[in-house]
Structure 1
């Protein structure tokens, strides 16, 4: 029997395996309700309102090409009948084809890169068309947001066995490696100046770490690249060293110093999906096994210390959601703003009274489809 990430967890920690299995069932239950059949795409989010009887009523809002592509990336690991149940009657390959057809109207590099990545992973015959759109959107050579630059590299790494992308692959790989500030292990929010205001150019988020470390690990796995693997490893080691005592993956970092700027919000998708998939990819590429950190982060989903005074589950089996985040509830994200500006002039500045004034006990009751797409990717993907 092939041992997957999920089945390996059953051997290591049965209780966490039960939690991950439950979360995957929630994902498969929730995704069909996030599908807009008339448009053949996914909503941007589902938001909750409390009913008088204590139940939750969920409303669909917007649509998202990006989230649709991420869902395809995860759903492809399901058996075909379950792919169709999640993707409005389509297989992952067919649904990716719909996204490729819409690429001429896609103007965001990250969206196009995710579609190309899905095309590579599903072995879609129009992969070259998808890659051409990525190249067209990325041709000026200017700075890019780090997350989008990482998705470009992941797409090209996935495509290497099917299409000649070596020149573009090398450029995308070098762009990510050069983006780091000095010898620091963490990645900034953008690969170069001009996209982020000067006063917060040092602040990067958790996604700015996980997607590059994943992309560089996949770059190494696709053809052997010790420098890329080392950069991935260094980033992973740092975010794992900073992980909270309750398993929290923190949100904002100082890319210069490798420290935490502001920990909250803590997002459920980081705990159950984004951190696991990036760290699993690193281990499977030959890097360090950060399994203990993965398990600690997953455990937070069932034991949220921030909500201890007023316990509420992050997971609702019915109607199939995981609540989006735990946050401070500070007006206009005041704590993040104050710490971002403060650490610009005084690295490591904490402004401790803010922790007492704005405690992280608020819950964001919404759920987005990409959270479940990455969850499927994290736990059903890979082979150990």
Structure 2
């Protein structure tokens, strides 16, 4: 199968230029991953540094288990030779094996879920070990404890992948049901997801970011594909409809939403990973699961990367094989985000429009994190094959 038989091909039927961009970005991601792969683990970021002559380099900083697991998911659909190209000679089996060996020191529920998910989708023999560690961390969450929405979504996605991979033991099926109920309960009667399932600070309790929408949307769509859960599909459709209704006129996937209404609390930053990867990934999973196909919205989001009103700087940096992270306000203390969260908590729909003039979105964040390239590969090369439609 070529790329144009799959998701990129489906997009090409609607918008050939957007499909060409997605195809080009897949090649860039494969080339761009090795510089961030150090001693069998991915760095936290490659930070842009301007050279005396005016050009840019990207300096590797830190390490990240989470980003390594996301890259493993993205690389898994590649043939072996392309896996070795992306992983500096390693395969996804090598990367997942190291991640599983490191699980005893992983204490974050979301990180463990991502590793289990990667083990399931790569067919790794250590999947039972990864599922056991995820179960230990799940048991540490007491009834009523707050859980980050993103982590709850990753737990559901990981367990759904284990079910689909043939690891659907009675224990996994029970946990899959519990993860499903937790995530659906977090949406409740809201239009979109909040940042936290459970108790949260009063002034931000109603706010959810873009990640808080796409990962549940994706997990619920995958659950339906795996077991035929129409309630999960309906919730995924609600979230997809909400973010697409709020999409900016130039294709912007905005950052913070009022979960109660679906309105935008604060639009910026606009992230490259949202435009190229996370937005398309979740919406394409929904379409693959038998839901609505939002191909026009996906294409519009892609076009923002090459033509946008906020900044003139290029965000796709071919010579470094990366994308700059985001277009943002010059607001390092996040005053706009905080002020608008408080204002909308007190008066639903309040925007404090004057802040747009004080802090215009004119700044480019010149860094690239490996998960941005990992999700890009996953979005465009993975094809969800569920049993239920």
The TM-score, its normalising length taken from structure 2, stands at: 0.94
1:300 has 2:304 as partner? yes
The structural deviation recorded for 1:11 is: 3.6
**Count of equivalent residues:** 376
- Partner residue of 1:23 out of 12, 22, 25: 25
CA distance in 1, matches of 2:301, 2:283: 12
Q: Is 1:9 aligned to residue 26 of structure 2?
A: no
Q: Secondary structure at the match of 1:47?
A: strand
The answer on 1:184 being equivalent to 2:185 is no
SS in 1 for 2:46: strand
Name the structure 2 match of 1:83.
83
Q: Which residue of 2 aligns with 1:175?
A: 182
What is aligned with 2:154? 151
Partner in structure 1 of residue 119 of structure 2: 119
2:303 aligns to what SS in structure 1? helix
- Relative distance call for 1:383 and 1:4 in structure 2 (3 A) is farther
**C-alpha separation between the residues in 2 aligned to 1:12 and 1:343?**
37
Q: Which residue of 2 aligns with 1:316?
A: 317
Deviations 1:136-184 (A, max 9, x none): 0011333310000000000010111322111000000000011125x22
Cα deviation for residue 270 of structure 1 reads: 0.2
Partner SS, residue 306 of structure 1: coil
* 1:49 positional shift: 1.4
SS at match of 1:305: coil
How many Å apart are 1:185 and its aligned residue? 2.4
What is residue 215 of structure 2 aligned with on the other side? 211
User: Aligned equivalents of 1:68 and 1:92: distance in 2?
Assistant: 10
Residue segments in structure 2 that go unaligned for 5+ positions in a row: none
The alpha-carbon deviation at position 383 of structure 1 amounts to 6.2
Instruction: Give the drift of 1:8.
Output: 2.6
SS state at 2:292 partner: coil
CA distance in 2, matches of 1:6, 1:129: 35
Residues 216-275 of structure 1, C-alpha deviations (whole Å, 9 max, x = no match): 000000010000000000000010000000000000011122211100000000000000
Conservation of the 8 A alpha-carbon contact between 2:7 and 2:383: yes
**Residue deviations 1:189-235 (CA, integer Å, cap 9, x gap):** 11111xx3222111110000000010000000001000000000000
Distance in 1 separating the partners of 2:291 and 2:10: 18
Go from structure 1 to structure 2 and tell me whether the alpha carbon gap of 1:158 and 1:331 turns closer, same or farther (over 3 Å shift).
Answer: closer
User: Which deviates the most, 56-65 or 89-98?
Assistant: 89-98
1:129 aligns with 2:129: yes
What runs of 5+ residues in structure 1 fail to find an aligned partner? none
Q: How does 1:1-384 map to 2 (within 5 A)?
A: 3-37=5-39, 40-139=40-139, 140-141=141-142, 142-161=145-164, 162-163=166-167, 164=169, 165-181=172-188, 183-193=189-199, 196-307=200-311, 311-382=312-383
Corresponding residue SS for 1:12: coil
Q: For 1:381 and 1:54, how far apart are their aligned partners in 2?
A: 38
With the length of structure 1 as denominator, give the TM-score of the two structures: 0.95
Greater mean alpha carbon deviation, residues 269-278 or residues 330-339: 330-339
Contact 2:31 2:85 in 1 (8 A): no
SS at match of 2:47: strand
1:62-94 deviations in Å (ceiling 9; x for gaps) = 100000000010011112111012223221122
Contact 2:251/2:304 (8 A) holds in 1: yes
